């Protein structure tokens, strides 16, 4: 008897990437799949520099331009989300496929990102849809504050 392993989130994202690459007439490159894999291993909100450094530390020889271009492609096809948390911070990214809707809290001192989900937001969204006549496809809610880290409290 063969036990079939459930596909991981990365496996599912890779299938989407395969399909979109074929649809767009692009080449299936090792770099695209390796960058996707690295993103789907992460649990954080990363900057491109962080991703690039991580790939170099793993001895994966890739140019910074390639990382930027692949992340842009993955954002375009919906496998990665780009966030601009205020004017001070560079764009941050997170995996998008298979993730539930969530909101963010940002520490304005250390740039720590905390995710939260509150079901009451769905009720608000449904009410707004009902009274506006607009079907909401997505939303973004970000709170800014200072975390309870001692060094942030002193700044």
Q: Using CB atoms within 10 A of its CB, is residue 147 exposed (0-12), middle (13-18) or buried (19+)?
A: middle
3-state SS class at 138: coil
Closest CA to 64 of 48, 86, 82: 48
Q: What gap in Å lies between CA 111 and CA 92, rounded to an integer?
A: 11
152 assigned ligand-binding residue: yes
60: tokens are 């994966």
104: tokens are 């963010």
Closest CA to 93 of 18, 36, 34: 36
Bridge partners, residue 116, by sequence: 103
Residue carrying the six token digits 């271009």: 69
Which segments are annotated as binding site for Fe cation? 139
Which segments are annotated as binding site for Zn(2+)? 107, 110, 147, 152
Which segments are annotated as binding site? 107, 110, 139, 147, 152
């Amino acid at each position: 008897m063969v036990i079939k392993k459930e596909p991981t989130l990365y496996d599912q994202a890779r299938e989407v990437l395969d399909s979109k690459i074929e649809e767009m007439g692009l080449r299936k490159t090792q770099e695209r799949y390796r960058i996707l894999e690295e993103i789907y291993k992460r649990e954080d909100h990363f900057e491109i520099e962080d991703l690039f450094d991580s790939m170099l530390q793993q001895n994966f020889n890739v140019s910074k331009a390639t990382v930027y271009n692949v992340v842009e492609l993955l954002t375009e096809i919906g496998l990665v989300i780009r966030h601009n948390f205020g004017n001070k911070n560079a764009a941050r990214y997170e995996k998008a496929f298979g993730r539930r809707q969530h909101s963010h809290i940002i520490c304005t001192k250390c740039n720590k990102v905390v995710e939260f989900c509150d079901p009451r937001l769905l009720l608000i969204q449904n009410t707004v849809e009902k009274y506006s006549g607009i079907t909401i496809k997505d939303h973004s809610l970000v709170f800014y504050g200072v975390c309870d880290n001692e060094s942030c409290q002193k700044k």
